[in-house]
Amino acid sequence: MPIAIAIVAVIALLAVWFVSIYNGIVTKNNRCDNAWETIDAQLQRRNDLIPNLVETVKGYAKHESETLAAITNARAAVANASTPEAKMEASGQLTQALGHLFAVAEAYPELKANSNFAQLQADLTDTENKISYARMSFNDCVLEYNNAITTFPGNIVAGSRFPKRHGFVVTDDSVRDVPTVSF
């Protein structure tokens, strides 16, 4: 009888241990989903601001139709992306296009002085900062999750039910280049 109790106790402890590890993996996976939804919300906020920005710029910078078209196309690519990876790629292209637009705006003093443009630029800059922070948070969640499913004993519990996730990576190596500043 004492052996049976010991066996039942060991089985119960193993079950609690298994459930605890499983629930930890599920929690980390849910955190990754939540972090992605935060990014998605900020991307949507940025996409909502862009039409107003484009309309404001159109009135002042009529010769910049190529830049405005690039922004419009990149915005559409973000909206139409069906996977997080595709959305990440399209978002990077949109960020580059917006950076080019703000650089072009320097050539139009009337545009820079426009309070609507200044407010939109500030809102977009704030949103870009939030997107950057949300990406870092997402990458942290992905790291924690991937560690949980690839280290012992989580890898045994996870098996093939929990696939490895991918975080944000720089797709354009030119952003790593040190900018040249000259006065």
Please list the pLDDT of the chain residue by residue as tens digits (183 residues). 889 999 999 999 999 999 999 999 999 999 999 999 999 999 999 999 999 988 888 888 777 888 888 999 999 999 999 988 889 889 989 988 898 888 888 888 888 888 888 899 999 999 999 999 999 999 999 999 999 999 999 999 999 999 999 998 766 665 555 545 444
Rounded distance, CA 43 to CA 78, Å? 8
Rounded distance, CA 102 to CA 73, Å? 17
DSSP string for 141-169: HHHHHHHHHHSTTHHHHHTTTS-------
Question: Where do the domains of the chain lie, and which CATH numbers do they carry?
Answer: 2-157 (1.20.1440.20)
Angstrom CA distances, 47 to 40, 105, 114, 123, 171, stand at: 10, 19, 21, 12, 21
Rounded distance, CA 140 to CA 167, Å? 8
